[in-house]
Structure 1
Amino acid sequence: MGEKNILDSIIDKLFAFDKNFVYVVLIALFGFVLRSLVALRTKFSADEMVHGTHAIGFISSGKLQIMDESAVWFWLTDFFMKVFGFNVFGIRFASIFFGTLAIIVVYLICKEVSSKEVGLIAAFISAISAYQLDMMEAGMDTTMVFFVLLSLYFFILSIRKESRFYFCLIWLSAGIAVMTKPIGLLFLAPLGLCSLYYHFYKSKSIKIKDYIFVIILLLLIFTPVLTFNYLLYKDKGILDLQFSRFTRISVDTYASIAPTIEGFSLTTLFVNNNGRNRPGFVEGFLFMHFQESIFILISALAGLFFMIKNKNKFIFIFIITFIVPFMFLAGTSLLPNHFVFTSYYAVIFAGYGIYNSSLFLKNKNHQKIFIYAIIILILITSYVKIDNGDSNGFLGSKNELGQMIDFKESSIDENAFILADSRIYRGRIAFMFWDKHYMEGNVFLGALANMDQIPGQEVPIDIYFVECVPDDCGWGGGKVTSDFNDSMENLVSVFGTQNNHVKTINDVYGKPYFNVYKKTVYLKSGIIPVADSLKEWFFYPLNYQPKNKVFDNYQTHTLYDKLLDQAAHAILYLIIILSGLLVILLIYLLHREG
C-alpha cells in the first residue's frame, strides 16, 4: 500500500507539470541531441585546438586565467573532460550543454516580451538553428552567449517585476559572461546604458546606490583577472595579452602572434575588411546569411518590424545590445564564432515575427498551418546547411580526431611511443596525444641526426607512426610545402609498409585521413624523456606540466600578495559555484514561470 501511494504521488507530480514546461524540456532535449551529434562529427578548427588543449589540466594548474582568456570556460571544460573523457564530446560539452540551456532562455525571454506561444516557436527554431548547431565548438562563445541571454532575461524580469533580486542577477550573469570570454564586455556596456535609460524612463530618477553596488559586484567578479595581472606584473613585469594590447606593456612577449591580433578600425568596419573589398559590417551580416536558414532571417526581419510597430517596450534593449557588440566586432574580429550571438537574437525576433504574421489569418487552424509550414521550411534549410557543412550531416562516425582518440585509448599501449606526421596540425597532435609519449615527425628526424647527444642505451621501442593521408591535416594556407611534404613521405616509406599497418581512420566523408603503423625500432632510451620535455603548445607545456615552464605563473613575495592571491582563487571558485546555481535557478524559473 505504501509503495502504491509513493508511485501515485510521483505520477501525480509528473502530470502536474505545466504542459509548456514539458514542451520546452522536450525541445531542449531535442536540441541537446542535435548539438551532440553535430559536435561529434564537425572537424576541428585551429582555434579549438588552442583553447581546448589549454583547458586540459587547467583546474589542477591553479591558474586564475591563461594569457588571453578568462578562467570560467577553461575550468568548466576541464571538469567536463574529467567527467566525459578527454575526447571530442568532453572538449565540446560546454557548448553542447550551455547551447541547450540557451534554448530555454530564449523561450523565457519571448514569454516575457510577448507570449508562451512565441516562446515555444522561438525555442524550437533555436533548437534547429544551423548557425547555433555549427558552433558546437571547443570555444567560449556559446557559453558566453548563454550568460548574456540570461542577463537579458533577468533585465526584463527586473523591469516587469520591479525586483531588486533580478536586478542583481543581471550583473552577476553579465559578469560571469565576461569571465567566460572578455568580449562579454561588449554586452555589459550597453546593458548598463539600457538599465540607466529604463530606470530614468520609469521613475524619472536614478538610484545611485544601486549602481555603486553594481560597480562593486563587477569588481569582485573581475578580481581574479585583475589580481592575475597585478601579481604577474609585480613578479615578472608582464601582463596578459588583453592588458598588454591596451597598455603596450610587455608587447614583446606576444610578438609572435601580433599579426593575428587586430585592433578596432573604422576602415575595417566601413570600408575594407582585410583586402576583401567589403566593409566589416557587411561581412558580419554575411556570416548570418551563410550560416543561418534564410527563413529564420526573413522571419527575424518580420519580427523586428512587428516589435517596432507594436511599440514593444523591450525593443530598445534588444537593438542596443545587438548593435554595440556587432559593430565593434565587425571592426576588429571577423570570425563566425564571434557572431553566433546574432543567431540567438534572430530566433527571438523570428518567433515573434512568425506568430504575429500568422495573426493575419483569421482561422485558428490556418494560423497553425502557417506556423508549422514556416518551421518545416526552417527545419529543411537548416538540415541542408548542416549536411553541406563540416559535419557532413548528423549521423555517422565521429570526426577523424575523435576516432583517433578512441583508437589510442583502446589499442595503443600506455608506454608506447607515438610518432606523428608533422603534416598534422600541431594543435591536433597535442590534443590527440597529450597523455602519451609522442614526437612530431620533423623533430624526430632532427633527433635521429643527433642521436649521439641523446643519453641511454639502445633499446627496442614500439613506435606507432600516424600518417597524414591527404598531406595536409589542418595546417591550410599552403604551409605544407613540397620539401616539407617530401621529408614526411620519407618517414612514411620507413614506417608505412603493409606489414606494419594496423589502422586506417576515415574522415566524416568516408575518405582515408590517418594511417596508423606499428614498428619496433632500436633507439636510445633517452629519447622518451626528450620527447616528453618537448610537449608544448602555443605558449604552454601540455597539462601545464612542469609548472616551471609555464611562462605566466607568478610568485607572491609578501603576505598581502599571498592573501590577495588566495582571495582571488576563492572568488573564482565562488563564480564557478554561482554559475551552477544560475543553471538550477533557470530550471526553477522555467517550472515556475513556464
Structure 2
Amino acid sequence: MEKNNDFIGKILHFIFAKENLYLMLFILILLLSIILRFLAVNNAAPVGDEMVHGTHAINILGYKPLSTLVESPVWFYITDIGHEIFGITSFGSRVTSFFYGIGIIFLTFIIGSRVFNKKSALIASFLVAVSGFAMRYSAIAMDMSMMFFAMLSTYFLIDCMQKRQKISLLSALFLGIAVLNKMIAVFFGPAFAVYVIYMWKKSENKKSFVKNNTKQFIYWILIFLIIIFPIFAHNYLLYQEKGLVTEVMAQYFGINKTYYLGPLGHDQGASLQFLLPSLKSNLGAFWTMDPLLLIFFALGLIITFKAKDEILLLGSMILFYSFFMSISSGLGTHYTEWIPLFALFAAQGIIFTVNEVQKHVSSKQILTIILLIIALSTIYASWGFLSSRSAVWSLRDYAIDNIGPEDLVIVDSRIYEGRIAWMFNDKHYIGSQYAGQLLNSLDEFTGQTSSVRVHIIECDTDDCGWGTVGSGPLNDSSENFFNQIKEAVPAIAKINGGGDGYNEVINQPYFTVYEANLPFKRSMFQLVDSTHKFFYYPVRFEPKEEVYDYIGPQKGLNNLISKFGYLSLWTSIMVALFSLLLVVHMTYKELTKQ
C-alpha cells in the first residue's frame, strides 16, 4: 500500500512540479488538438481535389510508380499505408493530415522556442491546435505533410546556422522530402537562400563563412537532388517510353502539354493575373475561420520586424510561398501552410497585447481570456463539421458494412465521379446512365442467369459534388430513372448530409439507398468494372499495364536509373515515417530543458 501511495505521489509531483509546467500545458494542447482533428478528419465534407488524390492513393502500394500524374509520390505511399492500417475510410485517406498536422504543432513549439521563447512557442502551438482553417483543410491532401517537412527543414537550418554558422545538411534532406510530398515546397527555397545570404552579410568574418559553407552548400544541393531524384527518373523514363511527362513538367516546360488539356484543363503555368484574386479569396476564407489569428499575426509581424535574424527567414517563407502559390493556384488547401508561420508571429502579437493591458488587468487573466476567445470563436466557426458528418463518409461506411463482393451497385450519375470512385473503389459499381443499357443486354452475355443483389444510390439534392448538374439533360435523365426505381424498389436507407459540405444540410437526406434482386450473369461484371476509370487512371490501378504512365521493366542505364529512383523513394518514405518520432523526441527535450 505504501509503495502504491509513493508511486501516486511521484506522479502527482511530476504533474504539478513547477519545472514541468510547460510540458503539462503542451500535453493539454496536444490532447485538445487530437480531439479536434479527429473530429475534423472524420466529419468534414470533401473539398477541392480530395477525391482525385484520395482515389489515386488507393492501391498505389500495388502499382508502385516512381511518381504520379500531378503530384509527388511520398504522400500517396504513406496514405496507402494508412489505408492498409485504417481501411479506405475518411480517417484512412486523411491519415497524413491527422498525424503530420499534429506534428506541425510540435514543430511550431520547437521553432518558436528557438526563435523567441517557450512562452511564445506554447501560445503559437495553441493557435495552431485550435485553428479552424487548419481543421477544415485537414483533407485528403499533401499540404499538412509537406509543411511538416518544410518546417523540420527550417528548424535544422536555423539550428545549424545559430550554433555553427553552417548550412544544415539535414535541412536539405527534409526539404527534399517535403518536395517529394508536394512539389510546391520548392517555393520555400528562395526564402532559405535569402536567410543564408543575410547571415553571410552579417557575419564578422565573411571569408570564414564562405570557406565553411562552400562544400556544405555543394553537399546540400547533392542531397536535395538525390532525394527528389524519383521525380526526374519517372519523367525521364516516361518520356523515353511514351513521349510523355507528368502534368507539372508539361505545364511549366511545355512538353506535350496538350495531352492534359482534357479533365485538367491546364494550358498555362503561373500567371500574375491570378495573384490578387487568389490572395483575396484565401485571405477571405482565412478571415472567416481564424479572424483573431490573422489580426494578431499582422500585429506580431509589425512589432517583430527586424527583431531577430530568423524573422527574415520566417517572413520570407510567407512572402515567397504566398507569391508563387497565388500565381499558380487558388485552392484553400494550399494555404494551410500559412497557419504555423502566422501563429509564430501571432503569439508575439498576443504577448505584446498582454504586456500593454497588464497595467490594468493581471497578465495571466488577460492571456487566458484572449486564448479562450480565440479557441471558442474558431470552434464556433467550425461547429458545422465538428458536430456533423458528411454523407460521403457515411455512404462509404455503408458500402463497407453492407455491400458484398458479388453485389452490383448502380450509382446516380449526378454524384461526382471522383466521389463514386473513392466510395465504391472495391465494389462492382456502374453509373446510372449506363445501368439501363447494361440490364437490357442480359442475353448478349455468356453464362448462367442468376439473381444478384443490387444497391441503387440516389443523389437527393440533384447535384452531389459536381456543382454544375443541378439542372439539364443529366438531371432530367436521372430523375426519370429514379422515378421508375421508386415505383418498383423500396428505399432501405437514408443518409443525411453534414460536415459543412457545400450543399449538404445537416440532418437532411443527401443520399437514398434502394435494394433489389435482379437477374444477372457473372460475366457482366467485366463490363461493369471496365467503366472504373477516373482522371487518367483506372481505379486501384488495375490492370496496371493499362495505366497511361505505366513504365515496364527497364534495361541497361534506364534500369540503373529506375533502381536508384526506387532506392531514394523508399529511403524517403522510411525517413518520413520515423520523422514523427524524431519530432516528438526533439519537443520533449526542448520542453524539459531548464
Using the TM superposition, give the Cα deviation of residue 593 of structure 1 relative to its aligned residue in structure 2, in angstroms: 1.4
Equivalent position of 2:366 in the other structure:
370
The one of 108, 111, 114 equivalent to 1:112 is 114
SS at 1:520 equivalent: strand
Cα distance in 2 between the residues matched to 1:185 and 1:564: 23
Equivalent position of 2:240 in the other structure:
234
The one of 466, 484, 488 equivalent to 1:475 is 466
1:221 aligns with 2:227: yes
Equivalent position of 1:290 in the other structure:
288
Equivalent position of 2:503 in the other structure:
none
Comparing 155-164 and 39-48, the one that deviates more: 155-164
Cα distance in 2 between the residues matched to 1:583 and 1:524: 50
Q: 1:358 to 1:6 in 2, by over 3 A?
A: closer
Using the TM superposition, give the Cα deviation of residue 393 of structure 1 relative to its aligned residue in structure 2, in angstroms: 4.1
User: In 2, are the aligned partners of 1:109 and 1:119 still within 8 Å (CA)?
Assistant: yes
User: In 2, are the aligned partners of 1:495 and 1:518 still within 8 Å (CA)?
Assistant: no
1:381 aligns with 2:399: no
Q: Encode CA deviations 1:456-496: one digit per residue, 9 max, x unaligned.
A: 443322111011111111110x3344321222123213333
Q: 1:354 to 1:262 in 2, by over 3 A?
A: farther
Equivalent position of 1:394 in the other structure:
386
Q: Encode CA deviations 1:303-351: one digit per residue, 9 max, x unaligned.
A: 1122126x22211111211111111222221111112222222211111
Alignment of 1:175-254 (within 5 A): 175-202=176-203, 203-204=205-206, 205-206=209-210, 207-254=213-260
Return 5+ residue gaps in structure 1 as ranges: 274-279
Q: Encode CA deviations 1:242-280: one digit per residue, 9 max, x unaligned.
A: 11123322223212135346522223325xx4xxxxxx4
Question: Could you tell me which amino acid in structure 1 is paired with residue 430 of structure 2?
Answer: M
Count of paired positions:
577
SS at 2:466 equivalent: coil
Q: 1:290 to 1:426 in 2, by over 3 A?
A: same
SS at 2:304 equivalent: helix
Comparing 108-117 and 251-260, the one that deviates more: 251-260
SS at 1:263 equivalent: coil
Alignment of 1:29-68 (within 5 A): 29-68=31-70
SS at 2:429 equivalent: strand
Cα distance in 2 between the residues matched to 1:283 and 1:400: 27
The one of 313, 334, 352 equivalent to 2:309 is 313
Q: 1:411 to 1:127 in 2, by over 3 A?
A: same
Equivalent position of 2:344 in the other structure:
348
Equivalent position of 1:168 in the other structure:
169
1:331 aligns with 2:332: no
Equivalent position of 1:276 in the other structure:
none
1:461 aligns with 2:452: yes
Cα distance in 1 between the residues matched to 2:197 and 2:437: 63
SS at 2:362 equivalent: helix
Equivalent position of 2:538 in the other structure:
541
The one of 151, 155, 158 equivalent to 2:157 is 155
The one of 430, 446, 464 equivalent to 1:439 is 430
Using the TM superposition, give the Cα deviation of residue 378 of structure 1 relative to its aligned residue in structure 2, in angstroms: 1.0
Using the TM superposition, give the Cα deviation of residue 283 of structure 1 relative to its aligned residue in structure 2, in angstroms: 3.5
Equivalent position of 1:555 in the other structure:
552
User: In 1, are the aligned partners of 2:124 and 2:346 still within 8 Å (CA)?
Assistant: yes
User: In 1, are the aligned partners of 2:296 and 2:345 still within 8 Å (CA)?
Assistant: yes
Cα distance in 2 between the residues matched to 1:403 and 1:246: 39
Cα distance in 2 between the residues matched to 1:369 and 1:5: 35
Using the TM superposition, give the Cα deviation of residue 362 of structure 1 relative to its aligned residue in structure 2, in angstroms: 5.0
User: In 2, are the aligned partners of 1:495 and 1:519 still within 8 Å (CA)?
Assistant: no
1:403 aligns with 2:394: yes
User: In 1, are the aligned partners of 2:263 and 2:535 still within 8 Å (CA)?
Assistant: no
Same amino acid, percent of matched pairs: 28
The CA RMSD over aligned residues, in Å, is 2.5
Q: 1:500 to 1:357 in 2, by over 3 A?
A: same
User: TM-score, normalized by length of structure 2?
Assistant: 0.91
User: In 2, are the aligned partners of 1:129 and 1:382 still within 8 Å (CA)?
Assistant: yes
Cα distance in 1 between the residues matched to 2:386 and 2:279: 31
Question: Could you tell me which amino acid in structure 1 is paired with residue 315 of structure 2?
Answer: I
Return 5+ residue gaps in structure 2 as ranges: 499-505
Equivalent position of 1:257 in the other structure:
263
SS at 2:551 equivalent: coil
User: In 2, are the aligned partners of 1:28 and 1:101 still within 8 Å (CA)?
Assistant: no
Question: Could you tell me which amino acid in structure 2 is paired with residue 578 of structure 1?
Answer: V
SS at 2:356 equivalent: coil
Q: Encode CA deviations 1:338-389: one digit per residue, 9 max, x unaligned.
A: 12222222211111111122122456961112211211221222123213xx
Comparing 137-146 and 194-203, the one that deviates more: 194-203
Equivalent position of 1:90 in the other structure:
92
User: In 2, are the aligned partners of 1:284 and 1:326 still within 8 Å (CA)?
Assistant: no
Cα distance in 2 between the residues matched to 1:151 and 1:10: 38
Using the TM superposition, give the Cα deviation of residue 6 of structure 1 relative to its aligned residue in structure 2, in angstroms: 12
The one of 398, 408, 416 equivalent to 1:417 is 408
SS at 2:515 equivalent: strand
Q: 1:157 to 1:13 in 2, by over 3 A?
A: farther
User: In 1, are the aligned partners of 2:257 and 2:267 still within 8 Å (CA)?
Assistant: no
Cα distance in 2 between the residues matched to 1:12 and 1:343: 35
SS at 2:520 equivalent: strand
Alignment of 1:20-31 (within 5 A): 20-31=22-33
Cα distance in 2 between the residues matched to 1:548 and 1:348: 48
Cα distance in 1 between the residues matched to 2:554 and 2:41: 45
Cα distance in 2 between the residues matched to 1:261 and 1:148: 29
1:503 aligns with 2:476: no
Comparing 216-225 and 155-164, the one that deviates more: 155-164
User: TM-score, normalized by length of structure 1?
Assistant: 0.91
Using the TM superposition, give the Cα deviation of residue 453 of structure 1 relative to its aligned residue in structure 2, in angstroms: 4.3
